[in-house]
């Protein structure tokens, strides 16, 4: 039987003939009706895979000419297709034969494609002895060129780490391959891996100056992307003390020098934290020193103005009740600031008592089972006023201001007795412990509605707030 495999390796006659390059036998076997050209051996390798790995170009051509041959069957050991093995072996003729066939899928295996391998390995990575160069006709850069010329190649497929071929080649610091991928125009330079790090993050953090310049010249590049910790590429470079990369960012338009991460650290603060003196000087002398108070707004003052301040003051403006000194400030923030003529509403401790607020308090206690800030459970259910306060979010003392601003329109659950006013709707209330109430009324703790109603504390937390 012409298709009977042996008992040792479970390989068919076609498999052996394909590996050894015997064209005559391969043609005879393919002409037989009972021969399955896709029968794998015990390692899951088909005759085509054996021919590819043995660099038998003429046999590969014969097999691809048979319509019954599946050119995408991977092996069992490495899960690699014939195209993948041809790319890794660098055999230019076989790669061209496979890519010429429309049936060949260039994007498998899905999580590490041939383009990933070729992009990740530079010409210098290939260090074969002279005796092994037979059949090795293509360097990785040549292979990348062949792959990206095929229109159905996915330039943005990602591996198990969420990294695209472009990210891989940046990590490997292969500038020539980066140029190839960018010139093709399909690679997404703003793609972030599973940690949110883009190609610019990686190149900046690794100090690949030439690649950083390539990315910052792109029209569609985001120079200030943030990873899962909120860190921007400039902060990566500053944290690693990469003076050359920092200089490139300082020369680039639209780079946010004051971009703060989720811990509130700017590039300058990262450089100071890691004691990179030259980077600190660069960032200070470029546009001033970044002063960041605890409420999240960054102030930038000219270097000459700040030199007289102590070292600690250069990095942080303390939160206190004193007004800022008269002068010119650049206020830098990720949020939008609207300047109005409204007078600030100064808060004071305000006891919420009286006939009008009695029903309001009852509704708040009925709705809430704990302190909004601390999570302390509501005790003394029948007399909750002993240990808890029903607090107006918008101060009751500013009722006229509430009405003038048309805030009544926001209330969708009005109080049962409309005569007490819309401000006494349970929507404008929350349950707090007396200590938390004092902190709220004196602006030492607040709620940020933009950040999923996160609790923000501007003072040392002695109440165990649940942030």
The answer to whether the beta carbons of residues 150 and 118 sit under 8 Å apart is no
Q: Are strands 330-332 and 445-448 parallel, antiparallel or unpaired?
A: unpaired
The pLDDT value given to residue 462? 65
At residue 124, the pLDDT reads 52
- pLDDT at residue number 247: 93
Q: Are residues 210 and 216 in contact, defined by beta-carbon separation less than 8 angstroms?
A: no
> What pLDDT is attached to residue 311?
39
Q: What is the pLDDT along the chain (467 residues), one digit of tens a residue?
A: 677 777 788 899 999 999 999 999 999 999 988 899 999 998 899 999 999 999 999 999 999 999 999 999 999 888 899 999 999 888 889 999 999 999 999 998 878 899 988 888 765 554 444 434 444 455 677 888 889 989 899 998 888 888 899 998 999 888 988 998 999 889 999 998 989 999 999 999 999 999 999 999 998 999 999 999 999 999 999 999 999 999 999 888 888 887 888 888 889 889 988 999 899 888 877 644 444 443 444 444 443 343 333 333 333 444 455 555 555 555 555 445 666 666 666 655 555 555 567 888 888 888 888 888 888 888 655 555 667 888 888 888 888 888 888 888 889 989 888 888 888 999 988 988 888 888 888 778 888 766 677 777 777 766 677 65
Answer whether 247's CB lies under 8 Å from 211's CB.
Answer: no
What fold characterizes domain 189-339?
Answer: 1.25.40
Q: Which two tokens stand for residue 112?
A: 């590490």
Taking the C-alpha atoms of residue 343 and residue 439, their distance in angstroms, rounded to an integer, is: 22
Domain ranges of the chain: 189-339, 355-457
So what's the pLDDT on residue 288? 43
The pLDDT of residue 400:
85
Distance between CA atoms of 329 and 364, rounded to whole angstroms?
A: 42
pLDDT score of 307? 37
Element spanning 331, H or E: strand 330-332
Backbone CA torsion sign across 87, 88, 91, 97 = negative
Residue 322: predicted pLDDT: 57
Strand segments, DSSP code E, in 173-310 are 289-291, 298-301
């Amino acid at each position: 039987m012409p298709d009977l495999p042996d008992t040792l390796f479970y390989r068919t006659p076609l498999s052996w003939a394909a590996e050894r390059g015997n064209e005559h036998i391969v043609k005879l076997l393919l002409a037989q009706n009972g021969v399955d050209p896709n029968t794998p051996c015990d390692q899951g390798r088909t005759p085509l895979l054996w021919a590819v790995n043995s660099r038998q170009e003429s046999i590969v051509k014969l097999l691809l000419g048979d319509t019954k041959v599946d050119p995408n069957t991977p092996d069992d050991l490495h899960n690699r297709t014939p195209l993948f093995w041809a790319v890794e072996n660098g055999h230019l003729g076989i790669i061209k034969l496979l890519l010429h066939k429309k049936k060949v899928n260039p994007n498998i295996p899905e999580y590490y494609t041939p383009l990933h391998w070729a992009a990740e390995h530079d010409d210098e990575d290939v260090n074969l002895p002279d005796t092994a160069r037979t059949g090795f006709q293509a360097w990785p850069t040549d292979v990348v060129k062949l792959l990206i010329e095929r229109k159905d190649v996915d330039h943005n497929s990602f591996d198990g780490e969420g990294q695209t071929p472009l990210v891989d080649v940046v990590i490997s610091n292969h500038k020539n391959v980066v140029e190839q991928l960018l010139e093709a125009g399909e690679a997404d330079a703003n793609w972030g891996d599973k940690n949110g790090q883009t190609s610019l993050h990686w190149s900046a953090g690794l100090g690949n100056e030439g690649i950083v310049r390539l990315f910052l010249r792109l029209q569609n590049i985001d120079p200030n992307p943030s990873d899962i910790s909120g860190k921007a590429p400039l902060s990566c470079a500053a944290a690693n003390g990469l003076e050359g990369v920092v200089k490139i960012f300082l020369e680039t338009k639209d780079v946010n020098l004051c971009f703060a991460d989720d811990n509130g650290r700017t590039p300058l603060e990262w450089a100071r934290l890691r004691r990179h003196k030259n980077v600190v000087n660069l960032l200070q002398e470029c546009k001033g020193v970044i002063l960041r108070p605890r409420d999240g707004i960054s102030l930038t003052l000219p270097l000459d103005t700040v030199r007289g301040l102590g070292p600690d003051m250069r990095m942080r403006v303390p939160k206190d009740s004193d007004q800022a000194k008269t002068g010119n400030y650049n206020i830098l923030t990720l949020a939008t600031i609207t300047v109005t003529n409204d007078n600030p509403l100064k808060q004071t401790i305000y006891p919420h008592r009286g006939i009008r607020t009695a029903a309001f308090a009852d509704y708040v206690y009925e709705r809430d089972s704990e302190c909004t800030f601390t999570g302390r459970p509501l005790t003394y259910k029948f007399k909750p006023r002993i240990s808890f306060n029903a607090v107006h979010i918008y101060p009751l003392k500013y009722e006229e201001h509430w009405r003038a601003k048309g805030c009544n329109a926001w209330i969708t659950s009005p109080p049962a007795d409309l005569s007490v006013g819309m401000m006494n709707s349970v929507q404008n209330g929350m349950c707090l412990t007396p200590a938390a109430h004092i902190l709220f009324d004196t602006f030492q703790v607040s709620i940020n509605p933009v950040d999923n109603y996160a609790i923000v504390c501007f003072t040392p937390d002695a109440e165990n707030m649940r942030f």
